[in-house]
């Protein structure tokens, strides 16, 4: 049973935090939506399309955050062979992929009216598309082998190699000429965005961040239970009984 | 109210963003809930089966 001692402790802490995370996520998303759709002003240049930002920007942040998390879990899995790190990586990849997908599609829906095009192959957009492919590659690799551990190893290496893409995404708007506007929140000298728009943006970001933790816990629970089922079955096949 | 839904003429761009975000995030949440429930139910079943069946190693050691 010692193999799952740490996942058991993780489950205890995670299950204690779960209702609080779910409540914070639900409340901040509800408040964020109210501000984003009704109680915040239209932009003086972009009109009501600025409301797309309240989905687009938190999705982009989460797409990058989840990838960094994926790389950290990958490193932990490779260095310490910690089964929990592999489980958390498996649980994180689909969430990151979902957020990156949302970022790309909402960006496209924002680009059409404001830039006059759905898509341009510039640095920011292309590196974000690459991020989506890295997530899909991670999900495919981790399930590509009959032996789960081999899949986890391969996916962890991909996560670590691919993390170089994250600073490229972040600084692409400074390093290259691009259609995409530069950062206005996370930048030197503080946010260059009015409070009436910063508040809904941060509320949505908090809602997305806690949503990630909620989904992470649920998917980790599924992975942990699945791994236990597998080890019991394996033990029965080998005739030794008991959990590894 | 009509002005709210019109989104200053950008309704066709703003609303799909929100509907898609809702669909993707709710879909992923439901999928994760169902996976957790299914896996934990299966674990219960497997554990129950193991308890019901006498184990060879116990017989040997007994």
pLDDT at A87: 92
pLDDT per residue as tens digits for the range A32-77: 999 988 888 888 888 888 899 999 999 999 999 999 999 999 999 9
Tell me how far apart the alpha carbons of residues B43 and B39 are, in angstroms, rounded to a whole number.
6
B21 and chain A: CB distance < 8 Å anywhere?
Answer: yes
Q: What was the ipTM of the complex prediction?
A: 0.88
Average pLDDT, chain B: 85
Which residue in the block uniquely carries the two structure tokens 């957790």?
B36
Chain B residues with CB under 8 Å of A21 CB are none
Report the gap between the CA of A218 and the closest CA in chain B (Å). Answer: 6
Mean of the per-residue pLDDT values of chain A: 89
The per-residue pLDDT for A211 is 97
pLDDT in tens, A186-197: 777 777 788 888
- Domain positions in chain A are 51-238
Asked whether the predicted pLDDT for residue B54 surpasses 70, the reply is: no
Judged against a pLDDT cut of 60, whether residue A243 lies above it is answered with no
* A168 alpha carbon, distance to own chain's centre: 17
Is A52 in contact with A109 (CB distance < 8 Å)?
Answer: yes
**Predicted TM-score (pTM) of this structure:** 0.89
* Phi (first) and psi of residue A47, to 5 degrees: 60, -145
**pLDDT at residue A30, as a whole number:** 95
Tell me which residue in B8, B39, B56 faces A222 most closely, judged by beta carbons. B39
Which chain B residues are Cβ-neighbours of A49 within 8 angstroms? 7, 10, 13-14
Residue A111 token pair: 């680009």
- Give A105's contacts in chain B (Cβ within 8 Å): 17, 20
Q: What is the pLDDT of residue A1?
A: 37
Reported as a single tens digit per residue, the pLDDT across A165-205 is 999 988 888 888 777 888 888 777 777 788 888 999 999 99
Give alpha helix (H) positions in chain A. Answer: 5-34, 53-80, 83-115, 123-142, 148-162, 165-175, 195-238
């Amino acid at each position: 049973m010692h193999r799952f001692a740490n996942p058991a402790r993780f489950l205890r802490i995670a299950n204690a935090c779960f209702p609080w995370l779910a409540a914070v996520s639900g409340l901040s998303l509800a408040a964020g939506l109210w501000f984003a759709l009704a109680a915040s002003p239209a932009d003086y240049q972009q009109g009501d399309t600025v409301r797309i930002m309240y989905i687009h920007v938190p999705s982009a942040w989460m797409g990058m955050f989840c990838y960094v998390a994926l790389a950290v879990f990958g490193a932990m899995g490779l260095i310490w062979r910690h089964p929990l790190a592999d489980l958390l990586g498996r649980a994180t990849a689909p969430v990151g992929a979902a957020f990156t997908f949302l970022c790309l599609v909402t960006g496209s829906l924002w680009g059409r009216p404001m830039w006059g095009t759905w898509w341009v192959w510039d640095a920011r957009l292309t590196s974000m598309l690459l991020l989506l492919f890295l997530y899909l590659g991670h999900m495919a690799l981790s399930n590509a082998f009959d032996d789960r551990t081999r899949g986890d190893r391969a996916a962890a290496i991909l996560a670590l190699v691919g993390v170089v893409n994250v600073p490229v995404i972040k600084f692409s708007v400074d390093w290259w000429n691009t259609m995409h506007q530069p950062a206005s929140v996370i930048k030197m000298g503080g946010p260059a965005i009015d409070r009436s728009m910063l508040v809904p943006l941060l509320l949505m970001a908090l809602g997305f961040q806690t949503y990630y933790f909620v989904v992470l816990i649920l998917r980790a629970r599924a992975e942990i239970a699945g791994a236990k089922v597998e080890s019991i079955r394996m033990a029965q096949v080998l005739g030794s009984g008991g959990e590894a | 109210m009509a002005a709210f839904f019109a989104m200053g003429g950008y309704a066709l761009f703003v609303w799909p963003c929100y509907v898609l975000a809702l669909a993707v995030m709710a879909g992923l949440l439901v999928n994760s809930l169902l996976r957790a429930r299914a896996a934990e139910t299966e674990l219960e079943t497997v554990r129950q089966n193991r308890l019901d069946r006498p184990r060879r190693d116990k017989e040997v050691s007994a």
